[in-house]
Amino acid sequence: MHILVTGGAGYIGSHTCVALLEAGHEVTVLDNLCNSSAVALERVQEIAGKPLAFIHGDIRNPDDLDRALQGGADAVIHFAALKAVGESCEKPLAYFDNNIGGTIALLQAMERAGVRRLVFSSSATVYGEPDTVPVTEDAPLRATNPYGRTKLVMEQLIGDCCQAVPEMGAVLLRYFNPVGAHPSGRIGEDPAGIPNNLMPYIAQVAVGRRERLQVFGGDWPTPDGTGVRDYLHVMDLAEAHVRALEFGRDQAGARAINVGTGRGYSVLELVRAFEQASGKVVPYDVVGRRVGDVAELWAEPALAEALLGWRAQRGLATMCADAWRWQAGNPQGYDGP
């Protein structure tokens, strides 16, 4: 298939492009590089040994979208979005404009081009603070911040379009906590500024870019008092997209599917696993809880197995080893020497 990948230069998008090229698909990336580097796409092509087409443009610009779709795409994978929870509280309008406005423009362009297949990057954030874990897809949906609200609204917009156009099909992949990197160490997560998320923060402490990790809360009702999450290798997640495209070929309507391992690890378990993988000490201080955090969150991934034939293959040690290979080889990310 020929796939348009919005946001394909980003963290998850770049790893997914490798998996798509390796599965034999043709790929066009549309990205404005607001949170990524074109170097990532050069490296994707180097790893896969195949070319992709890149359009430097914005999903809110209809001309850029028409250009990206003019080659006759069979499906779209839609990663392009802003994703920082804290920033979304400070600049909600920028998030509504980019994420919701961009998705509306994309759906309109797909309608113009007659493209009916979509795989959408949703997030476990749509479950807010869940009543029970593991979380199933039919759990109540609620947003606790503007970023989460954009994901919830985008899911609903896509669902409404599928209702209106019977031939349209969408797979809404609700990712839990993607971490790690391609095993080559050539592409990985390269957050701008101070990392918000745990794994890139730990990796930057281990490589000497930051002094100490702050552990947000040691008094959660969990076995060791620190928060528990469902960490998932980004290559497993990339492969879930390839499966979702195949499943989406004859799927009508919008279908939400959790993408997680079904097992949670605490902050301190992740720190220890990273120390083991890197041979580095990760000094930390336990500080107060972060606003908006929950004690524990992990997926019930049975639906992904039933519908996509997908389950996570890589464990925590591999996630840490691959994240470390990327961080050690690229201490300053893509902009480094």
Q: Give me the residues that bind ligand UD1 (CB under 6 A), please.
A: 85, 123-125, 147, 177, 196-198, 201, 213-216, 227, 229, 267, 290, 292-293
Nearer to ligand NAD, 103 or 266 (CB): 103
Q: Which residue has the tokens 């997560």?
A: 189
Nearer to ligand NAD, 94 or 317 (CB): 94
Give whole-number Cα distances, 10 to 7, 14, 104, 277, in Å: 6, 6, 20, 25
Q: Which residue has the tokens 């600049």?
A: 91
* 11 labelled catalytic: no
d(CA 63, CA 51): 23
Within 122-141, the residues that bind ligand NAD by CB under 6 A are: 123
Q: Which of 127, 147, 201, 231 is an active site residue?
A: 147
Nearer to ligand NAD, 252 or 293 (CB): 293
Backbone phi and psi for residue 114, each to the nearest 5 degrees, phi listed first:
70, 30
d(CA 110, CA 80): 15
Residue 49 tokens, joined: 């040994």
Within 59-98, the residues that bind ligand NAD by CB under 6 A are: 59-60, 79-83, 98
Q: By CB under 6 A, is residue 324 in contact with ligand NAD?
A: no
**Torsion angle, alpha carbons of 116, 77, 49, 71, to 10:** 40
Residue 68 binding: pick among ligand NAD, ligand UD1, none (C-beta 5-8 Å cut-off by kind): none
Q: Is the dihedral of CA 189, 194, 197, 198 positive or negative?
A: positive
Nearer to ligand UD1, 8 or 200 (CB): 200
Give the catalytic positions in this structure.
Answer: 147
Binding site for ligand NAD (CB under 6 A): 7, 9-13, 31-36, 58-60, 79-83, 98, 102, 121, 123, 175, 178
